[in-house]
């Protein structure tokens, strides 16, 4: 997705816990944590089930779709006298339940409202690991 590649995102570094997430992200797939014991989903960084505290989490593929809950516009910082674009960051409730904080790469903030459909896409900031970003679903189709 070229829009996200133009916007500065901080590269991330994988560790043993996050390796499956980043392996899937490199293939354009979103993984979340799933507890077979409770049937509840948790965010990717979870070490225990966010609903029950169970330690039986597994990586499972998510739909990659959700709804916008909230957002903020972070003003860009000028660098070397060049103006920088503002960044729109949204909290998205995924179809499976967990909330993810995602850069909304195709939004300027003026058209946003709670409940807008969001789809997950992936970008590679500065050649680093693929990371999820959000696209307004109506614009992607």
pLDDT tens for each residue of the chain, 141 residues long: 334 434 456 667 788 999 999 999 999 999 999 999 999 999 999 999 999 999 999 999 999 999 999 999 998 888 888 888 889 999 999 999 999 999 999 998 888 999 999 999 999 988 789 999 999 986 544
Q: Flag whether 133 is in a domain.
A: yes
Domain span holding position 115: 11-140
- The helix or strand, by DSSP H or E, that contains position 26, with its residue range, turns out to be helix 19-26
Domains identified in the chain, total number: 1
**CB neighbours of 47 closer than 8 A, spacing ≥ 6?**
17, 55, 57
φ and ψ at 115, to 5 degrees? 95, -10
Q: Give CA–CA dist 73/89, Å, rounded.
A: 6
Residue-level pLDDT at 6: 46
Q: Residue 4: exposed, middle, or buried by beta-carbon count in 10 A (0-12, 13-18, 19+)?
A: buried
What is the greatest pairwise CA distance in the chain?
55
Residue-level pLDDT at 9: 66
Residue-level pLDDT at 139: 55
Q: Flag whether 53 is in a domain.
A: yes
Q: Flag whether 5 is in a domain.
A: no
Is residue 83 classed as helix, strand or coil in its secondary structure?
Answer: coil
Q: Flag whether 3 is in a domain.
A: no
């Amino acid at each position: 997705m070229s829009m996200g590649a133009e916007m500065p995102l901080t590269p991330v570094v994988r560790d043993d816990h996050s390796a499956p997430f980043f392996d899937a992200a490199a293939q354009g797939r979103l993984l979340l944590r799933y507890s077979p014991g409770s049937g509840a989903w948790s965010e990717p960084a979870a070490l225990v089930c966010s609903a029950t505290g169970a330690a039986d989490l597994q990586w499972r593929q998510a739909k990659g779709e959700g709804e916008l809950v909230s957002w903020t516009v972070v003003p860009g910082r000028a660098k070397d006298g060049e103006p920088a674009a503002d960044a729109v960051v949204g909290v998205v409730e995924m179809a499976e339940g967990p909330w993810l904080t995602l850069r909304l790469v195709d939004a300027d903030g003026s058209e946003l409202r709670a409940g807008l459909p969001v789809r997950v896409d992936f970008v590679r900031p500065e050649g680093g690991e693929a990371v999820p970003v959000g696209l307004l679903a109506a614009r992607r189709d």
